Structure 1
Amino acid sequence: MNQPIAPSSIPSARGPVEHDIRDQIIAAASEHFSQYGYAKTTVSDLAKQIGFSKAYIYKFFDSKQAIGEAICSRCLAEIVAAVEQAINQENLLPTERFRRLVNTVIATGVNLFFNDRKLYDIAAFSASENWPSAQAYDVQIKGFVLHIVQQGRELGEFERKTPLDETVTAIHLALRPFVNPLLLQYNLDFVEQAPTLTSNLILRSLMP
């Protein structure tokens, strides 16, 4: 299933492409953010922890947000990859693809919340600030929904009277409490029932 390319809006790194140093900065930032929070951490704090000068860090990242974006984009890419793998199995009908999308995006987000909270918190912060990484993630999830709905209409599984963009936007909004990292953390009490109930409701609305 070919997916639309999300806008390439993650801030680019400055200076030499030395992956070990970049990774060292990202690792230190992840640890510092987890202890003190993204908002309370400064580039000077990171420089002290790593043992680099602040000016040297700016050779690799043009701002604290650029470091956060690098961390966040990795985190959200894990969710996208899991969804892509789940729905791109051969011989799946659109109904099953949709159920897998909902199940996987919720399960992966919840797993990240409980097992790698420092990454999750940055993803939630990025959603609250509408960072480019969060926007790109949103576009990718909406793109999955679009392709599933299109396929369902082509195969006669889904109704075709409602304008496609209206249908996709409505579904995307209905999934938002469990797709958006900022909102998911406030809906954890419903994650066991949510995939089935949400999928059933949406799929009934799509019936011809």
Structure 2
Amino acid sequence: MPAATAQILPSSSEAAPTTRDRIVEAAARSFQDIGYQKTTVADIARTLKMSPANVYRFFESKKAINEAVVEQVTAEIEAMIVAIADAPKLDAPERLTRIVTALHDDCRRRFEAHPRVHEMVEAAMSESWGVCQAHLDRIGAVLARVVADGVREGVFTVADPKSAAACLQAGITRYCHPMLVGRQPNTIQPPATGDDRFPARRPAVGRLNPPDARIYSDAVPGIGEGSETTGCGPSYPSITRMSASAPPFCRARADW
């Protein structure tokens, strides 16, 4: 995977960047250099040699700027996995394997290149959950499409591809969650090798119960505050504080 995937800055284009683009780029640089918490709107304005008032013409708050940066990053990640999902001549298990590996490698490389960037992620998860949820939904849709392809290919036995993909998404969180990967960048590796990469031709997959889309609700603050075991695979430290109304997910053992 190109090292460029480790960048969090908006991609350059042939057209001259707009003022809004320049603000997002300056904010991204500051977030990666000194961290989200220490960056102020005045800092961003000073870098661009403009007044804070001018920044506020385009963004109502630092939170709004962070949302724009996060949207840029997530768009890059989504484009990356869509390209893998659309790869010709690869069966569904291979595409899923490559997607999980790419998500993990991209997350790890971003952390290694810019450790302070995870402050930005934490802020987005606590202050702008809608942006994060939209990203998770789009990732889930890609996974569901590949699982459905596997059903048509006869390599997966799944009653509901969307539900199975959501359970898979929950199960790979330890390899793709920025904070988990950031805390153990060299020790967490997805077991995406060999014939047991994914449950191809394994009837147990068809027994998955639909997980709830809110499994990521109130994420991150709960890290290290106990452990939970999901029905989607091995247990690992809890990364969620599920809301009281969110039902359990993946109750049936998939025996992955």
- Normalization by structure 1: what TM-score? 0.76
Deviation at 1:41, TM superposition (A): 2.6
Code of the residue aligned with 1:185 in structure 2: it is: G
* Matched residue, 1:108: 106
Which of 19, 22, 25 pairs up with 2:23?
Answer: 25
* CA RMSD in angstroms, aligned pairs only: 2.8
Deviation at 1:101, TM superposition (A): 0.9
Which of 32, 36, 39 pairs up with 1:38?
Answer: 36
How many residue pairs match? The answer is 188
Which moved further from structure 2: 117-126 or 137-146? Answer: 117-126
Which of 185, 189, 194 pairs up with 2:190?
Answer: 194
Give unmatched runs, 5+ long, in structure 1. 1-17
Deviation at 1:173, TM superposition (A): 0.5
Question: Is contact 1:149-1:168 (8 Å) kept?
Answer: yes
* Matches of 1:26 and 1:70, distance apart in 2: 7
CA separation of 1:104 and 1:35: change in aligned 2, threshold 3 A: closer
Q: In the TM superposition, what whole-angstrom CA distance separates every residue of 1:72-94 from its partner, at most 9, and x where no partner exists? A: 12222222222222231112111
Identity of aligned residues (%): 27
CA separation of 1:149 and 1:25: change in aligned 2, threshold 3 A: same
Code of the residue aligned with 1:81 in structure 2: it is: A
* Matched residue, 1:88: 86
Which of 66, 70, 73 pairs up with 1:72?
Answer: 70
* Matched residue, 2:147: 149
Code of the residue aligned with 2:202 in structure 1: it is: M
Deviation at 1:165, TM superposition (A): 4.0
* Matches of 1:199 and 1:66, distance apart in 2: 45
Code of the residue aligned with 2:192 in structure 1: it is: T
Which of 170, 173, 182 pairs up with 1:173?
Answer: 170
Code of the residue aligned with 2:121 in structure 1: it is: A
Q: In the TM superposition, what whole-angstrom CA distance separates every residue of 1:82-114 from its partner, at most 9, and x where no partner exists? A: 222223111211111111111111112212222
Q: Which has the higher contact order (CA 8 A, sep 6+)?
A: 1
Question: Is contact 1:102-1:199 (8 Å) kept?
Answer: no
Q: In the TM superposition, what whole-angstrom CA distance separates every residue of 1:122-148 from its partner, at most 9, and x where no partner exists? A: 235423545333222211211111111
The structure in which a higher percent of residues are helix is 1
* Matched residue, 1:207: 202
